[in-house]
Amino acid sequence: MLAYYLDLAVRSLKRSPGLTALMVLTIAFGVSASMTAWSVFRAVSGDPIPWKSAQLYVPQIDMWGPQAQQNNPDSDKGPPDALDYGDAVALMRDHRAKLQSAMYPIGPSVVPADAAKHPITTSGHAVFSEFFPLVDVPFEYGSGWSAADDEHRAPVAVISNKLNAKVFEGANSVGKMLNIDGRDYRVVGVMGEWNPQPVFYDITNTGGFARESEDLFLPFNTAIAANLANNGNTNCNETPDAGFEGLQKSHCIWIAYMVQLDSASAAREYKSYLEGFARTRFPDWAPNVRLRNLPDWLDHQHVVPSDTRVSLLIALGLLIVCLVNTAGLLLAKFLRRSSEIGVRRALGAPRAAIYAQFLTEGAMIGLAGGVIGLLLTGVGVVSVGWVLPRQIANLAHLDFSLLATTLAVSVIASVLAALYPTSRAARVVPAWQLKSN
Amino acid sequence: MTIHPLLAALRRHKAGVVLIALQIALTLAIVCNAIFIIGSRIERIHRPTGLDESNLFMVAQSWVGAPTGDDQATTDKLDSLLQADLATLRNLPDVQSATPISSLPLANSTWSGGVSTKPDEKNEPAQVIYYFGGKDLLKTLGVKLAAGRDFTDAEIGNRAFRAPNKTAITIVSQAMADKLFPNHDALGKTIYFDGSSTPTTIIGIVERLQASSVDSWANDFAWNTALVPTRLDGNFSRYAVRAKPGRLRSAMDAAVPALYKANPMRVFYMDGKGVRAFDEMRASAYRADRGMAILMGVICLILLAVTGAGIVGLTSFWVGQRHKQIGVRRALGARKRDILRYFQTENLLIAGGGALAGIVLAIGLNLWLMKRFEMDRIPVAYVLFGVAVVLALGQLAVFAPARRAANVPPVVATRSV
């Protein structure tokens, strides 16, 4: 029976090629615009570490007190987004979570052994040894460093495969020495391809999306001892003493912190530990702490740009207009065939058969629109690269799931659009149509 | 021509009429808001920074192996490196002037603080964006003094990068001056930066100087800026350089090799290029806004095209359906113009109804976007413009099928199907 309906649909569509083309193109444009917007939205709102994002938490402590909170634009008067040095180091010393790391961004220069080459700028983070298992950094060679290395301020480094290619021609460089800002560090690990976006472990300093992947990681204590100043945001509610040391003594915030807690009860325990911690360190005011898991934290930090959300909404609006448009055209097209429907009904076709026939026709339009929509979506995803900020546009890509969604949305949308016209067509009274001719 | 038969005819196509009107309403709602977004983004992109932007570029670099720290010896050493770089830049044949500077408008690296008219204030009433610069600061930036005077060379000091800001004098933007002194008498007044007790005198006011960030967090104080005559001595440095008129490219091309030649132990920032023309900085700062405007523009075009095509399609169908009736009307003496007018009026009625609903939808959508996405209230002009656009679109779309209807010969009335 389906073959018969398909045949009928093709005949009907062929009968008015202009109208058919109009409907197909309408669906194609509507679907591809929304799919292009969706591809960007999907890219920036995706979970960067889906297998453990629920176990990762970001602790916040109010080290500034209620006085400073008067200027806080946030309605919940939550604590600052980052930690000061003293609190971060004290949290690390207490070591209450399964895995934890304080971290801050660094941007040292790497001096190649070959004196003829210019030094290279890098970007990276100073972290603790637990950072690597915490965020599941993949390694091509070697591994992270040990807790003892943290303790002893060992001059060790983990570098990216990109930096490894630049400095060591891609060979296994574990054990080799690397000159970073004039000091020698021993390479202990070379990371595999790793560039999570958003840079979830340090949203406060990166703002979410970075154009380049990170080149190197050094031990936190080593970096502090080497006076490697932070290369990110510093936020103060007091004027710190001079120098990087002054910053470390101040309550200025510049350190990101992440912990892994495997169960809800572990999270509750950690939260109450945080409250106790805040009470001891800041006895002058009631503890104001937060412990957000990673998805909540990304949401709280507005990692998805509101432009991306607005674009998606507007594009969905466009899709709805396209649906209404197609519904109107189908209505006209179906009702023109009232006499044909009348004949079919009079010959004994049940309403269900009319439904099947016309919905098949709608689905066919959707399929054709979807195929053209695939091409247009491809064009759209490539073109957003030219107009959107690169760090966001780079993330939008075509893949099987996007293409499959495009086709599915297209067919479903056109069947939906055909629903009302079909119901009208099915209500045609046979006798009436037969009589009027 | 009477409206009554027209309404009677419309009543027979209720579903089609409602669908078209609904489509027009939705189109209007979306187009109004999209055009509003485009308009506000274009306005944002084109607002002047207050600088003389042509022939201006920035150099950003860092010395490798330079000492780190804030003690006097280190600061002196770093300051001599900075002065050496400035000498190199100023000696380039195509360079007019150069100054060390902590950041530039739109450069997206921001040094902000609080400012008050009283000393030792913990919660300052206003926020300020600082630009720390050296000799030739105003000249190189090309900002215009509205009142007061420029810094003299003797007034330029230097300090370690992370030392507190203790300047005795400053030049502020007009917006900053008016924010602190609403009576417009800021010149010569004393202010206090960052809750300190160090008095700072306002010696000059520049007409306009934009903040270094265009991000939303800085929106509230995007024009509250202060110029401080202090060279910051750290491991890295930025220079604003003004090329001689028309010599921007050659000055930029010469800068990096000359600096490398003078001292190879350094790295250059800004994608390793080390230099960036101000118009590139402007383009990159507003890339997201430009992208959003283009996206909204494309969506508007598709939307209008789809709706226009839909009107053509549906009207064509109605013309076909009423072929015989049109013939009868023509046979009974209606002129071609009457038929044309009939379809045009019909479309105007439908589009008008849709537009009325669309106005409500447009404002509703705007209110919702305001609540969710910190958007501004849509000015009435945008809504009216949107209404004009959809009505014009309707008339344009209906013209071809209506003319076809007008060309139906009266003889059709006498033929049977």
Nearest CB to B310 within list A305, A320, A329: A329
Q: Which amino acid is at A203?
A: I
Claim to verify: residue A161 and residue A279 sit in the same structural domain:
yes
**Residue B211's pLDDT is what?**
93
In this complex, do B64 and A307 lie within 8 Å of one another by their Cβ atoms?
Answer: no
Looking at the predicted structure, is the pLDDT value of residue B356 above 80? yes
Does residue A19 lie within any of the structural domains? Answer: yes
Does residue A420 lie within any of the structural domains? Answer: yes
d(C-alpha A115, C-alpha B264), whole Å: 10
Does residue A53 lie within any of the structural domains? Answer: no
Residue of A41, A329, A335 to mutate, testing the B interface (most B Cβ within 10 Å of its Cβ): A329
* Local confidence band at A71 (pLDDT 50, 70, 90 cut-offs): low
Does residue A211 lie within any of the structural domains? Answer: yes
* Local confidence band at A296 (pLDDT 50, 70, 90 cut-offs): very high
Which of A287, A313, A344 represents a domain boundary (last residue)? A287
Q: Are B355 and B15 in contact (CB under 8 A)?
A: no
**Residue A12's pLDDT is what?**
80
- B379-408 exposure pattern, b = at least 16 Cβ within 10 A, e = fewer: eeebbeebbebbbebbeebbbebbebbbeb
Claim to verify: residue A272 and residue A137 sit in the same structural domain:
yes
Alpha-carbon gap: A267 to the closest alpha carbon of chain B (Å): 31
Alpha-carbon gap: B288 to the closest alpha carbon of chain A (Å): 5
Does the CB of B362 have a partner CB in chain A at under 8 Å?
A: no
**Residue A436's pLDDT is what?**
58
Does the CB of B367 have a partner CB in chain A at under 8 Å?
A: no
Does residue A52 lie within any of the structural domains? Answer: no
List the single residue in B with minimal CA-CA distance to A242: B163
**Residue B70's pLDDT is what?**
78
Claim to verify: residue A418 and residue A276 sit in the same structural domain:
no
In this complex, do A239 and B267 lie within 8 Å of one another by their Cβ atoms?
Answer: no
Claim to verify: residue A240 and residue A351 sit in the same structural domain:
no
In this complex, do A242 and B369 lie within 8 Å of one another by their Cβ atoms?
Answer: no
Claim to verify: residue A28 and residue A173 sit in the same structural domain:
no
Does the CB of B109 have a partner CB in chain A at under 8 Å?
A: no
Q: How far is CA A314 from CA A225, A241, B43, B350, B357, in A?
A: 52, 50, 21, 24, 18
Q: Which domain holds residue A106?
A: 63-287
* Local confidence band at A214 (pLDDT 50, 70, 90 cut-offs): very high
Domain count, chain A: 2
Q: How far is CA A330 from CA A18, A23, A336, A423, B400, in A?
A: 13, 8, 10, 11, 20
Which of A287, A314, A330 represents a domain boundary (last residue)? A287
How much is the pTM?
A: 0.87
* Local confidence band at A74 (pLDDT 50, 70, 90 cut-offs): low
To the nearest whole percent, how much of chain B has pLDDT over 70? 99
* Local confidence band at A118 (pLDDT 50, 70, 90 cut-offs): confident
Looking at the predicted structure, is the pLDDT value of residue A336 above 90? no
In this complex, do A121 and B62 lie within 8 Å of one another by their Cβ atoms?
Answer: yes
Q: Kindly list the residues from chain B whose CB atom is less than 8 angstroms away from the CB atom of residue A329.
A: 310, 313-314, 317
Q: Kindly list the residues from chain A whose CB atom is less than 8 angstroms away from the CB atom of residue B29.
A: 317
In this complex, do A33 and B163 lie within 8 Å of one another by their Cβ atoms?
Answer: no
Restricting to B residues 20-39, those with a Cβ less than 8 Å away from any Cβ of A are: 20, 22-23, 26-27, 29-30, 33-34, 37
Does the CB of B308 have a partner CB in chain A at under 8 Å?
A: no
Average pLDDT, chain A: 90
Vertex B6, ends B4 and B10: CA angle to 5°?
120
Does residue A30 lie within any of the structural domains? Answer: yes
* Local confidence band at B207 (pLDDT 50, 70, 90 cut-offs): very high
**Residue B122's pLDDT is what?**
76
Nearest CB to B195 within list A118, A239, A305: A239
Claim to verify: residue A155 and residue A282 sit in the same structural domain:
yes
Q: Kindly list the residues from chain B whose CB atom is less than 8 angstroms away from the CB atom of residue A109.
A: 62, 64, 267
Average pLDDT, chain B: 91
Q: What is the mean pLDDT of residues B389-408?
A: 92
pLDDT digits (tens, 9 = 90+) for B48-67: 999 999 999 999 999 988 88
Backbone phi, then psi, for B202, in 5-degree steps? -80, 110
Q: Kindly list the residues from chain B whose CB atom is less than 8 angstroms away from the CB atom of residue A68.
A: 123
**Residue A75's pLDDT is what?**
61
* Local confidence band at A362 (pLDDT 50, 70, 90 cut-offs): very high
Q: Kindly list the residues from chain B whose CB atom is less than 8 angstroms away from the CB atom of residue A392.
A: 288
In this complex, do A242 and B296 lie within 8 Å of one another by their Cβ atoms?
Answer: no
d(C-alpha B89, C-alpha B237), whole Å: 13
Claim to verify: residue A177 and residue A96 sit in the same structural domain:
yes
**Residue A73's pLDDT is what?**
60
**Residue B394's pLDDT is what?**
93
Nearest CB to A243 within list B15, B162, B265: B162
Restricting to B residues 131-150, those with a Cβ less than 8 Å away from any Cβ of A are: none
Which of A234, A260, A287 represents a domain boundary (last residue)? A287
Looking at the predicted structure, is the pLDDT value of residue A174 above 80? yes
Nearest CB to B22 within list A68, A70, A324: A324
**Residue B218's pLDDT is what?**
79
d(C-alpha B75, C-alpha B235), whole Å: 10
- Most confident range, picked from A302-316, A388-402, B329-343, B352-366: B352-366
* Local confidence band at A217 (pLDDT 50, 70, 90 cut-offs): very high
Restricting to B residues 167-186, those with a Cβ less than 8 Å away from any Cβ of A are: none
Greater pLDDT, A278 or B66: A278
Alpha-carbon gap: B300 to the closest alpha carbon of chain A (Å): 9
Greater pLDDT, A394 or A217: A217
In this complex, do B295 and A120 lie within 8 Å of one another by their Cβ atoms?
Answer: no
Q: A282: Cβ–Cβ under 8 A, 6 or more apart, which residues? A: A61, A62, A63, A65
Does the CB of B295 have a partner CB in chain A at under 8 Å?
A: yes
Claim to verify: residue A143 and residue A208 sit in the same structural domain:
yes
Nearest CB to B296 within list A314, A392, A420: A314
Claim to verify: residue A367 and residue A429 sit in the same structural domain:
yes
* Local confidence band at A267 (pLDDT 50, 70, 90 cut-offs): very high
Looking at the predicted structure, is the pLDDT value of residue B333 above 70? yes
**Residue B305's pLDDT is what?**
93
* Local confidence band at A245 (pLDDT 50, 70, 90 cut-offs): confident
List the single residue in A with minimal CA-CA distance to B284: A389
Does residue A140 lie within any of the structural domains? Answer: yes
Claim to verify: residue A337 and residue A419 sit in the same structural domain:
yes
List the single residue in B with minimal CA-CA distance to A317: B30
**Residue A69's pLDDT is what?**
67
In this complex, do A120 and B267 lie within 8 Å of one another by their Cβ atoms?
Answer: yes
Alpha-carbon gap: B147 to the closest alpha carbon of chain A (Å): 30
Does the CB of B270 have a partner CB in chain A at under 8 Å?
A: no
**Residue A232's pLDDT is what?**
87
In this complex, do A327 and B19 lie within 8 Å of one another by their Cβ atoms?
Answer: yes
In this complex, do B62 and A109 lie within 8 Å of one another by their Cβ atoms?
Answer: yes
Looking at the predicted structure, is the pLDDT value of residue A94 above 90? yes
Claim to verify: residue A266 and residue A159 sit in the same structural domain:
yes
Claim to verify: residue A359 and residue A268 sit in the same structural domain:
no
In this complex, do B317 and A332 lie within 8 Å of one another by their Cβ atoms?
Answer: yes
* Local confidence band at A70 (pLDDT 50, 70, 90 cut-offs): low
Residue of B36, B127, B162 to mutate, testing the A interface (most A Cβ within 10 Å of its Cβ): B162
Q: Kindly list the residues from chain A whose CB atom is less than 8 angstroms away from the CB atom of residue B232.
A: none
Looking at the predicted structure, is the pLDDT value of residue B125 above 70? yes
Greater pLDDT, A293 or A339: A293
Looking at the predicted structure, is the pLDDT value of residue A219 above 90? yes
- ipTM of the predicted assembly exceeds 0.90: no
Does residue A179 lie within any of the structural domains? Answer: yes
Looking at the predicted structure, is the pLDDT value of residue B30 above 90? yes
Pull the structure tokens for residue A296: 């909540």
List the single residue in A with minimal CA-CA distance to B34: A314
Restricting to B residues 379-408, those with a Cβ less than 8 Å away from any Cβ of A are: none
Looking at the predicted structure, is the pLDDT value of residue A426 above 90? no
In this complex, do A229 and B68 lie within 8 Å of one another by their Cβ atoms?
Answer: yes
Does the CB of B288 have a partner CB in chain A at under 8 Å?
A: yes
Nearest CB to B23 within list A237, A247, A324: A324
**Residue A72's pLDDT is what?**
59
